[in-house]
């Protein structure tokens, strides 16, 4: 064994300890695109969380009345960006900047909650199916395949038309058609881990199936799940916007990026600025989550393929 001098020993103690998490964080910090994505996501989160103060006291619902007009302004509707309304006003004379911020809240909420719920459901299905295997696994996976083969967008449209929009209903619709990918992913990992020695050891000491699934298998599926979470938020935000674009998203007057675009497309000749910003916001947010998710994947497991 090597003898350390007192000085060397001191140095060793001062050196930062390397842990699993610190390793990941170091790799993530080195990934420029990932950090860019994180910064973009951070900007969006700050903007929607502090929507109140950032909108300078303008309510997203208040319609400007002709009496409030300043000299030189003609109508309260379709104002171009100016000092009072930095993005102008929409077709009802509402402040577009304020609606953009509050709309982001709704869009992001739908994206995050729907993504989380799909992942919970998908992970549960995948874990149970992969762990028990046999005919049970076969049945569940055939059902998953069936759900995956169904054309998603047209049936989302049907469900949205039946359920009549609303935040909760929209989340439900996105989850119904969103859990299959995660279920397959988790099942795949579970199948490969199930035969490993530490699971056998857990069985040998008499751990119950649920304990094995949730204490021993679940933590090992964390890496792909986290990446899938980050990536799926962006696609769910786009899905929400697409449904809203078809007129089936969040009903007015609640703003969301999708329904702002839906309204604005009628005025692309007269007020194209109303189309630019909600779309740009969706694009910026989903780009951020995609960059971050990609960086996270490289940091968590360079070999991982998603």
Contact residues toward other proteins (CB under 8 A) are 32-33, 142-143, 145-155, 157-159, 161-162, 234, 238, 241-242, 245-246, 261, 265, 268-269, 272, 275-276, 278-279, 282-283, 286-287, 290-291, 294, 305
- Cα 5 to Cα 189: distance, rounded to the nearest angstrom: 46
CB of 104 to other proteins, least distance (A): 14
Residue placing its CB nearer to other proteins in the complex, 173 or 217: 173
Q: How many CA atoms lie within 13 A of 130 on its CB side?
A: 26
| Cα–Cα distance list, 140 to 123, 143, 145, 209 (Å) | 13, 5, 9, 18
- 15's tokens: 């050196």
Residue placing its CB nearer to other proteins in the complex, 40 or 225: 40
Residue placing its CB nearer to other proteins in the complex, 131 or 292: 292
Residue placing its CB nearer to other proteins in the complex, 46 or 268: 268
Contacts of 21 (CB under 8 A, 6+ apart): none
Q: Are the C-beta atoms of residues 91 and 77 closer than 8 Å to each other?
A: yes
Residue placing its CB nearer to other proteins in the complex, 212 or 234: 234
Residue placing its CB nearer to other proteins in the complex, 130 or 258: 258
CB of 68 to other proteins, least distance (A): 30
CB of 259 to other proteins, least distance (A): 13
CB of 71 to other proteins, least distance (A): 31
CB of 241 to other proteins, least distance (A): 5
Contacts of 5 (CB under 8 A, 6+ apart): none
CB of 281 to other proteins, least distance (A): 10
3-class DSSP state of 62:
coil
The residue with tokens 């989340």 is 171
CB of 192 to other proteins, least distance (A): 19
Residue placing its CB nearer to other proteins in the complex, 49 or 275: 275
Burial environment of residue 201 by CB neighbours within 10 A (0 to 12, 13 to 18, 19 or more): exposed
- Cα 215 to Cα 56: distance, rounded to the nearest angstrom: 48
The residue with tokens 């469900």 is 159
Burial environment of residue 22 by CB neighbours within 10 A (0 to 12, 13 to 18, 19 or more): exposed
Residue placing its CB nearer to other proteins in the complex, 47 or 238: 238
How far, in whole angstroms, is CA 161 from its chain's centroid?
A: 24
R_g of the chain computed on alpha carbons? 25
| Dihedral angle over CA of 230, 231, 236, 238, nearest 10 | 120
CB of 10 to other proteins, least distance (A): 38
């Amino acid at each position: 064994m090597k003898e350390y001098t007192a000085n060397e020993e001191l140095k060793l103690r001062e050196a930062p300890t390397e842990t699993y998490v610190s390793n990941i964080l170091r790799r993530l910090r080195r990934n420029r695109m990932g950090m860019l994505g994180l910064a973009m996501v951070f900007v969006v989160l700050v903007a929607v969380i502090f929507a109140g103060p950032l909108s300078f006291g303008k309510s997203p619902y208040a319609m400007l009345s002709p009496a409030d007009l300043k000299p030189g302004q003609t109508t309260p509707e379709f104002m171009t960006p100016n000092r009072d309304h930095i993005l102008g006003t929409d077709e009802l004379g509402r402040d577009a900047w304020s609606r953009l911020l509050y709309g982001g809240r709704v869009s992001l909420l739908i994206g995050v909650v729907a993504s989380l719920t799909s992942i919970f459901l998908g992970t549960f299905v995948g874990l149970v199916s992969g762990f028990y295997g046999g005919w049970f696994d076969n049945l569940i996976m055939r059902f998953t395949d069936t759900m995956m083969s169904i054309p998603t967008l047209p049936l989302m449209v049907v469900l949205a038309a039946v359920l009549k929009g609303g935040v909760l209903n929209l989340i439900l619709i996105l989850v119904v058609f969103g859990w299959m990918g995660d279920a397959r992913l988790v099942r795949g990992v579970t199948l490969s881990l199930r035969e490993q020695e530490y699971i056998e050891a857990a069985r040998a000491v008499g751990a119950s199936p649920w304990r094995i699934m949730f204490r021993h298998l679940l933590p090992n599926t964390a890496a792909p799940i986290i990446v899938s979470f980050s990536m799926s938020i962006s696609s769910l935000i786009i899905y929400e916007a697409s449904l809203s674009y078809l007129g089936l998203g969040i009903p007015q007057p609640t703003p969301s990026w999708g329904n702002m675009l839906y309204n604005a497309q009628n005025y692309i000749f007269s007020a194209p600025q109303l189309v630019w910003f909600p779309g740009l916001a969706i694009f910026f947010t989903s780009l951020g989550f995609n960059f971050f998710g990609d960086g996270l994947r490289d940091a968590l497991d360079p070999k991982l393929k998603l």
